[in-house]
């Protein structure tokens, strides 16, 4: 062992070359053993693993292909299927195959002989064999995607490429609920990105031809994933299965984006058909809401990739939101809010559609079950659309105030609401209005902060200390987002001819944020004096507030 480990790189290359030169006799012996009827499958399993080790020496595919193809029937045996697939994968994805495209395509065509084995496995509910075969073709496409796309442009090879992709579509559409009924449909997720990404490397007529060829594939993929992403009934999944399904849904979300790059408007048109069907189903049966939820999830997934200039499909979707029969379904309204928040950037360029989305958001703020999703969506909207949202400031501020007064909020929800308030007050408000609202909003928090300050160093509990930190974070949100520094700065005229202005102060008046912090300074100084050893309070909270004074 020590002698083997001491072999230097040059000697190793010489030895490897000598071993490779004897591969023909080894392959011949392996072929004889595999064809021998009296040899047990246990022995054949060992032989197949030996073959895989030799294949890792980058043996020429032209010399190993016949032997490898002869192994396909052995994939019917449970004991031999995995080592057979390992050998086929090693040969098909070896780096040496990049320089022999015709040989690779011939090999891939022959590997489609696995289709009957796959069909038999599916009929027998043999998920293991099906997964191994799907994984093989997934690896081949990931390794040779560009070659397959080039061959898809050639009449003699196009059918092979279409068959391979159809197998992976079939894999994605494996029947049943993931991950309780099946764990196969997630195998080719990476393929859909690889194909899309490589299509975009082609130019001109070639890219156009590939897009036309693969559009039906990605449309089918959208249909498949809407079905596969349907939420399961309550209490069906364990905690571990819920996490697996969450990750699965995120992969579907990513794949929708890849599909959009191929389909563009055709995908939005396709989703529109699904949306109409889902609304009709829910109108006839309010309990049948999961289909609609899955469609909204798909819309949310492509929000960041949809062009700001889309003036056809997205407006129709946004306009449809008020007509959706939510029936007080919390989960459905939550995903609708999340989806609308995802389109915040688009809404910034299409402010005439803002009135379709604001009502649902402000109503959600005062619902304890929806405040999380509503505050997230409205925060995104105020961050992306600080000026265009100003006409709706009054209902937003009113709902924020009600939410703070009525609900027991999580700290993150309260911080988001404080961010919303700060952003809304930063546009179109004079100083007296801002101060009146801030005083009403902050007074209960300042009183609580003062009480917790008095407890510091004596009987303050861990929970009270954490509450103090949360209150400081709240003030930090205010300091970061109440931005009147650009007073009287005019934005470009909107489409309706109006001009948006930041909130402004009369010349000589102090900034509202400065007035608030001046009132707070004695309290903050006392807290700092009592928290000299608490790094989180000093560094992360107080310093961020002080920075607002700069």
What pLDDT, on a 0 to 100 scale, did the predictor assign at position 548?
61
Give Cα 299 to chain centroid, integer Å. Answer: 12
Q: Rounded to whole angstroms, how far apart are CA atoms 287 and 141?
A: 41
Q: Rounded to whole angstroms, how far apart are CA atoms 84 and 79?
A: 10
Q: Rounded to whole angstroms, how far apart are CA atoms 400 and 397?
A: 5
Q: How many CA atoms lie within 13 A of 378 on its CB side?
A: 36
Which residues partner with 415 through β-bridges?
A: none
Question: Which residue ranges of the chain lie beneath pLDDT 50?
Answer: 1-2, 4, 486-502, 505-507
| Cβ pair 44, 80 in contact under 8 A | yes
Give pLDDT tens digits for 21-37.
Answer: 678 889 999 999 999 98
Which residues partner with 499 through β-bridges?
A: 493
Q: pTM score, two decimals?
A: 0.88
Which residues partner with 456 through β-bridges?
A: none
C-alpha angle 334-337-343 in degrees, rounded to nearest 5: 145
Q: Rounded to whole angstroms, how far apart are CA atoms 255 and 218?
A: 9
CB atoms within 10 A of CB 119: 12
The residue ranges of DSSP E strands in 421-511, in sequence order, are: 490-493, 499-501
The pair of structure tokens assigned to 151 is: 């061959």
What pLDDT, on a 0 to 100 scale, did the predictor assign at position 498?
42
What pLDDT, on a 0 to 100 scale, did the predictor assign at position 495?
41
What pLDDT, on a 0 to 100 scale, did the predictor assign at position 15?
58
Query: Exposed, middle or buried: residue 246 (CB in 10 Å: 0-12, 13-18, 19+)?
Result: exposed
Q: Rounded to whole angstroms, how far apart are CA atoms 371 and 42?
A: 61
Q: Rounded to whole angstroms, how far apart are CA atoms 84 and 113?
A: 14
DSSP state, 510?
P
């Amino acid at each position: 062992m020590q002698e083997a480990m001491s072999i230097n790189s040059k000697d190793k290359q010489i030895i490897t070359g000598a071993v490779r030169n004897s591969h023909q006799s080894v392959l011949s012996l392996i072929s004889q053993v595999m064809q021998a009827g009296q040899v047990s499958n246990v022995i054949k399993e060992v032989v197949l693993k030996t073959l895989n080790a030799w294949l890792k020496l980058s043996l020429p595919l032209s010399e190993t292909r016949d032997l490898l193809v002869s192994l396909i029937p052995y994939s019917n045996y449970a004991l031999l299927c995995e080592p057979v697939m390992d050998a086929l994968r090693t040969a098909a994805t070896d780096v040496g195959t990049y320089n022999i495209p015709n040989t690779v395509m011939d090999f891939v065509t022959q590997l489609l002989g696995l289709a009957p084995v796959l069909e038999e496995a599916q009929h027998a509910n043999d998920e293991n064999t099906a997964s191994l075969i799907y994984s093989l073709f997934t690896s081949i496409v990931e390794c040779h995607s560009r070659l397959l796309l080039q061959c898809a442009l050639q009449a003699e090879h196009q059918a092979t490429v279409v068959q391979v992709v159809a197998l992976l579509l079939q894999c994605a559409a494996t029947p049943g609920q993931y991950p309780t009924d099946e764990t196969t449909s997630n195998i080719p997720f990476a393929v859909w990105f690889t194909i899309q990404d490589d299509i975009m490397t082609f130019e001109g007529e070639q890219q156009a031809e590939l897009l036309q060829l693969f559009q039906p594939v990605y449309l089918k993929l959208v249909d498949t994933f809407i079905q596969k992403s349907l939420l399961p009934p309550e209490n069906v999944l364990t905690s571990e299965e819920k996490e697996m399904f969450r990750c699965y849904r995120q992969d579907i979300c990513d794949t929708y984006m890849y599909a959009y790059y191929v389909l563009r408007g055709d995908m939005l048109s396709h989703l529109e058909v699904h949306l109409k069907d889902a609304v009709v189903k829910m109108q006839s049966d309010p309990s049948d809401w999961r289909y609609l939820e899955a469609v909204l999830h798909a819309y949310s997934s492509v929000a960041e990739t949809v062009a700001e200039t889309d003036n056809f499909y997205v407006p129709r979707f946004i306009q449809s939101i008020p007509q959706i029969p939510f029936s007080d379904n919390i989960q459905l309204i939550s995903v609708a809010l999340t989806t609308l928040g995802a389109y915040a950037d688009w809404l910034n360029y299409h402010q005439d559609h803002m009135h379709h989305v604001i009502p649902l958001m402000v109503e959600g703020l005062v619902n304890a079950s929806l405040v999380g999703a509503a505050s997230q969506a409205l925060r995104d909207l105020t961050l992306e659309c600080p000026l265009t949202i100003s006409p709706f400031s009054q209902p937003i501020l009113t709902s924020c105030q009600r939410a703070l007064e009525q609900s027991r909020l999580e700290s993150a929800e309260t911080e988001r609401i404080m961010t919303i308030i700060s952003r809304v007050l930063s546009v179109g408000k004079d100083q007296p209005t801002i101060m009146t609202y801030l005083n009403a909003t902050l007074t209960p928090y300042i009183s609580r902060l003062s009480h917790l300050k008095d407890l510091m160093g004596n009987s303050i509990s861990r929970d009270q200390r954490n509450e103090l930190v949360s209150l400081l974070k709240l003030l930090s949100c205010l300091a970061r987002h109440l931005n009147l520094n650009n007073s009287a700065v005019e934005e470009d005229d909107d489409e309706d001819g109006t001009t948006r202005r930041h909130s402004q102060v009369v010349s000589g008046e102090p900034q509202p944020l400065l007035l608030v912090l001046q009132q707070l300074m004695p309290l903050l100084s006392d807290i700092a004096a009592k928290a000299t050893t608490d790094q989180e309070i000093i560094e992360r909270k107080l310093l961020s507030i002080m920075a607002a004074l700069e």
